Structure 1
Amino acid sequence: MNELGEIITAGSERELGQSNPSPPNGHASPSSSDFRIIELEIENLRLQRLIAELLFKNQQLRRAAE
């Protein structure tokens, strides 16, 4: 798999893991820092996909210029 495929795969297969499991009563009580971590992980995935798209477009332009 090429570099672009690896970036896309890594971004799409990455889990948004929870640092704290749900309490035994079944009610989740995540803190604001847990939400912030999840937001940052989602933003990270979005940026990884954007980079993959830009790398792909760059590859296409370079091939067209040859």
Structure 2
Amino acid sequence: MQKITNLSRARKQKARDEKRAQSEIATKSAGTSKAAKLLEATKNERARQMLDQHFLGSEFEDD
């Protein structure tokens, strides 16, 4: 004997699954999250500051 399926519930579940799949595609195409971008920017700024601390000066400066 086959299992009885509520067609309305199955239709709604199918629509939710399709929407979830589309949102995953959109998320991947959008790139990184705002938090990841902020983290990367913070790391880059910190690395730049560390590099600038070791800067002795340009050989082209007029002293």
Larger Rg: 2
TM tier, smaller: 0.3 to 0.5
Higher relative contact order (CA 8 A, sep 6+): 1
